[in-house]
Structure 1
Amino acid sequence: MTARVLVAGIGNVFLADDGFGVEVVRRLAGVELPAWAKVADYGVRGLHLAYDLAAADYELTVLVDATARGDEAGTVHVIELDTGRTEQTPCLDAHGMQPDVVLNLLAWLGEAPRRVVLVGCEPEVLDHRMGLSPSVERAVGTAAGAVVDLVTNHGR
């Protein structure tokens, strides 16, 4: 069966809470989702994600990442992202994974995903170390639940 939904965990596990998205998709590996949903750990491979999105026609892409919005650490946000074209030339970083850069690269390639939602968590620590801070670790289950809701309610 062709995947209709992509859940992409993104982030750098060597920068503490930046590994949030990777941890959420690891947790989702133990959750039964519809066969048409694909869950993948992209880590810092933004270029890989951009090409996968360009090659597929996902109805929904859920990006899971740490996102600093000025709220209390561990706050989970569900944000609909704008997938419209931009005139900005993407700045590529082979080890970076910013969702806006991936979407700009797609637009630059002449592609536009249908719907993109970011499930993000406010980070507490972005130092060079492995492991999530306690507040972000507690948010992993909340974010995983939000992803499950987005996937199972897709198309309803």
Structure 2
Amino acid sequence: MEMERIGPPLRAGERETLRAFLDFHRATLAMKCRGLTDEELRRRSSPPSTLTLLGLLRHMAEVERTWFRRVINAEDIPLIWSETGDFQAAYDPSGCTGAEALEVWQREVAHSRRIERDAESLDVTGHQARWGEDVSLRLVMHHMAHEYARHNGHADFLREAVDGTVGA
């Protein structure tokens, strides 16, 4: 999967800046996974942790789907990787190939981008059922950038453990 990584603008409005930071982080995760085999995507960096790059891809597909489609767009759709609503199931890398996980993640990112672009403003709200609260698209965009940044730190270590590749 190719996803161009472009640095965020130095002077832009809030929405354009949030969108650019989120896309930068999305492209970073894609970069960390690029060129690896399924076996390499399933490799753990520091047992007993079960975290893998494949698990991170699956998790971020679930996060994209939940925040943009289920919360902001109010779509009544199930989780991707769990029929029982278990968010942790996404971390299990045994359920699919790297190509399948990349395709699902890419599809969810496309939905997220469409929902964000179609939204009238960052003040659009959706209901986060797990919190029992309404949240703004602004909060979702910030939360997603935070989620990617945190997991891209994990992806740095995971990729280095696979083949020694380092750097952002």
TM-score normalised by the chain length of structure 1: 0.28
- Structure showing greater radius of gyration is 2
Pick the structure with more helix per residue.
2
Higher relative contact order (CA 8 A, sep 6+): 1
Pick the structure with more strand per residue.
1
